[in-house]
Amino acid sequence: MATPILALIPSGYKSEKVYSVLPSNGDGDFTFTREGASGQPNSTRVNKDGLIEEVNSNVPRLDYSDGSCPSLLLESQSTNTINNSNTVASLQYNSQTTRTDNVAISPDGTFNAMGIVPTITQGIHRSGYHTNASSYSQNDIVTFSGFVKANGYDFVTMGGFFGGEKAVFNISNGTLVSQESNVINTEIVKLTNDWYRLSTTYTFQNHIGNNYLYAGVWVMDSETGYAFTGDGVSGVYAYGFQAEIGTGTSYIPTDGAIATRLADQASNDFSSQPTVANTSTVVLKFIPMGFDTDFYDLLKFSDGTNDLRLEGFQTNNYDVYGSGLSTSGMIDGALQLDAGSINTISFSYSGTNIRFSHNGSTIATTTPTGNLPTITEILHTTGGLSPIKILKLEVYNDFKTQEELNSLTNSN
């Protein structure tokens, strides 16, 4: 099979740069930016040791949270609206728990985890936050998340205090037990040393009516055991709480004030490489991460003027739109891809002839309305952006058979 004119397998990087494997002369390397507020990092990744690691501004994040191979993590802007994300002093609400700082090794590998221990009083054992006034509005999509580890109790609830906004998790085996009516999505990510990051995304009900977000964690003695008598010793460890508008993102540390991580932006130009007019093949192994707005770009494939755009819409639907394609997109229907799932797609075209493959299977396409652009640039930059993790990206200057595409997406 032919050699790609562009190949990105995330591995090498430095500030403002992600290195492509091909072309070897650097013409296909990606320029990268991500500013932090006032020069602060405000960004994290999971490193190769499975630990949370802060990353400086404009340094690409190669993230290992999905396995032993890193992905290039590209996220939209987001704000952690909790003023102090990792200290018990900021847990304004407490119902029959004892909270203590610096009691265990946290997911960042240091001795800075919080302890939350139910008291020996019968009742509900809960601890949590409220955000500043007017931070949120009714019907906002909100994600509350935090890292939790069992210390005698295996069940916790995470989410909003009121209005059907929370979910129950088993933190001994990393499973979802149940969720309430206004919960849209939950996520469980296992880290090292039996830590889990739990996320609950829900429709904010503004139950109190003051536009404060009230959210936190409940310690439970069973799947349904909210009210019980603790022993004053057992509990859970906690680290790194986050409350944000929209779909959940990577951890944004805060220390005394809310913090914003700006969007990751990456682009390249490999127009110096040989091309065939209106002919390209793209192979992309990636992880979709959900999206807050329909038809925002995960990636853009361009000839410098015209472009094709991988976009998401409605719930878990994805398609390619752009120059030379009908308004309904490249695919006849759409791909349904779960957030957090690993997928390999490939599309290949010459003029108005087009083929598509997903995970080794042929996908029906719609007839283009004109010639498609010859791809010489890949972009995740300005405009509306949806998050993506890139595991592998290749561009060829040929038109491949359906069998070749299926082989590429089955073996990647």
Domains of the chain: 6-76+263-411 (2.60.120.200), 79-260 (2.60.120.260)
Report d(CA 383, CA 28) in Å as an integer.
Answer: 22
- 167-214 tens-digit pLDDT: 999 999 999 999 999 999 999 999 999 999 999 999 999 988 888 999
Model confidence at 52, pLDDT cuts 50, 70, 90, reads: very high
Left (φ > 0), alpha (ψ -120 to 50) or beta: where does 360 sit? left
Tokens of 59: 């340094």
407 in helix, strand or coil? helix
Q: What local confidence, expressed as pLDDT, does residue 292 receive?
A: 87
Angstrom distances, CA of residue 316 to CA of 140, 198, 338, 340: 19, 20, 6, 11
Residue 246's contacts (CB-CB under 8 Å, 6 or more residues apart) are 76, 78, 141, 142, 143, 292
Q: Quick one: pLDDT at residue 68?
A: 83
Q: Which residue has the higher pLDDT, 168 or 290?
A: 168
Across residues 212-225, what is the average pLDDT? 95
